[in-house]
Amino acid sequence: MARRNVLAAGALGVGAAGLLAACGGDDDPRAGTPAPAATSAAPTTGADPSASAGGEAAPADALASTADIPVGGGKIFPDQQVVVTQPAAGDFKAFDAQCTHQGCLVSQVQGDEIVCTCHGSAFSTSDGSVLGGPAPSPLAARTITVEGDSLVLG
């Protein structure tokens, strides 16, 4: 038998042994079972978990808390394809998160810029206007309202 054939057979045997070990069962029925969760002895207060810090219940359709959006920055919500910014304290803006260049979702908010890293476009957090890059038009404005401490897309 040639050396190449011996090495190939050995490698095949090692691979098969690993596959069998991974697929094999475990004789201990407790293996892989997570330990029971510790229970808390602290009494429950009966408070509404959706209540905000001010004690008001958050609207069912709330996108985020006002505290989630930093002043002078913003946050991207990929599932809703929206970016929410707060250019000045209490001044919340919302824009379509889809870049107007080739449709990528914007990926970050850096200071006063909403940035699409696909091709380097940048937009203003104040009005969605193009600050740089190949984007041909501004981000479309979306309606957002403040209800208590919550932000709701309109």
Low-confidence ranges of the chain (pLDDT < 50): 6-7, 15-53
- Tell me the CA end-to-end span of the chain in Å, nearest whole number: 76
The CATH architecture assigned to 62-153 reads 3-layer Sandwich (2.102)
| H or E segment and range at residue 109 | strand 108-110
Domain ranges of the chain: 62-153
Q: Is the pTM of this model over 0.75?
A: no
Do residues 150 and 52 lie in contact, with contact meaning Cβ atoms separated by under 8 Å?
yes
Antiparallel, parallel or unpaired: β 150-153 and 62-65: antiparallel
How does DSSP classify residue 57?
B
Report the pLDDT value the prediction gives residue 151, as an integer from 0 to 100.
98
Question: pLDDT digits over 22-33, tens only?
Answer: 444 444 333 333
How does DSSP classify residue 113?
E
* Widest pairwise Cα distance in the chain: 81
Phi-psi region of 120 (alpha: psi -120 to 50; beta: other; left: phi over 0): left
Burial string for 106-120 (b: 16+ CB within 10 Å, else e) reads beebeebbbbbebee
Report the pLDDT value the prediction gives residue 146, as an integer from 0 to 100.
97
